[in-house]
Amino acid sequence: MINMLERKKRYLQIALNGSLHECYSILRQLPPSDRIIIEAGTPLIKEQGMRAISALRDWWAMVTAGTGIIPYIAADMKTMDRGATEVMLSARAGASAVVALGIAPVETLNVFIERCRSEKLDSMVDMMNVDAPVKVLRRLKKLPDVVILHRGVDEETFNRDKPIPYLQINKIRSTYDVRISVAGGDTIREVQRAIFNDADIVVVWKEFFAPTTSTGKLAGEFLRVIK
């Protein structure tokens, strides 16, 4: 059974990119919540293979055991080609959602979204480095379940003037009924800005790259902001 996202809820998506041991330590500290999405980050998948997805799903299931929460794992595959194949691999590994890149060919995005639907997974399209996400959506046969507005890690590191694309939220909402995720900010202030601008999902990673004594407390603070 796949735990599809509920329309009236806002979610905190925690991207995990460290070692599997570090990921498990982080998961053990997180508050069990049906508003937390666990992301198998791209570096983690590239290092560990598809087993990273199933491992995170199993570990999060142990943390949430007895709560009725169905683990929701987003596989950040950053699919650029072979859309159906990468969805199938993610589904077999136990993913709840898969990510493709908005700069992928429209043929890839169409088959990616269609295969996600047939596998009962949520389709997420990451618009990193896309100037006009609406133009991408306009070309698709069907809309994805989630559009990700994303300032990349290298963009943030080497171009401090690069803003998180909050302004695209209203441009998309004025035309399309899709859920919107914002990635690229990790501070409480940035999370607050994402929610203020009407994001449905806020993605964080930097503070969750390695476990600390305050990991669980920080996740709780983020959840309180994302009401």
Would you state the torsion angle of the CA atoms of residues 58, 209, 38, 9, taken in this order, to the nearest 10 degrees? 150
CA terminus-to-terminus distance, the chain: 26
Task: State the chain's mean pLDDT as an integer.
Answer: 93
Long-range contacts of 79-87 (CB under 8 A, 24+ apart): 79/104, 79/108, 79/112, 80/104, 80/108, 81/105, 81/108, 82/108, 83/108, 83/109, 83/110, 83/111, 83/112, 83/115, 84/111, 84/112, 84/114, 84/115, 86/112, 87/112, 87/115, 87/116, 87/119, 87/121
DSSP 161: T
Instruction: Tell which residue, 112, 22, 122, has the closest CA to residue 72.
Output: 122
**What pTM, to 2 d.p., does this model score?**
0.94
Query: Cα separation of 145 and 166, whole Å?
Result: 18
21-49 pLDDT, tens digit each = 999 999 999 999 999 999 999 999 999 99
Query: Where are the extended beta strands (E) located within the chain?
Result: 11-16, 36-40, 73-79, 97-101, 122-126, 146-150, 179-183, 201-204
| pLDDT of 1 above 90 | no
51-76 pLDDT, tens digit each = 999 999 999 999 999 999 999 999 99
Query: Cα separation of 209 and 103, whole Å?
Result: 27
Span 179-203, mean pLDDT?
92
Instruction: Tell which residue, 104, 157, 161, 98, has the closest CA to residue 130.
Output: 104
87-142 pLDDT, tens digit each = 999 999 999 999 999 999 999 999 999 999 999 999 999 999 999 999 999 999 99
CATH tag for 11-225 (out of 3.20.20.140, 3.20.20.70, 3.10.310.10, 1.10.3720.10): 3.20.20.70
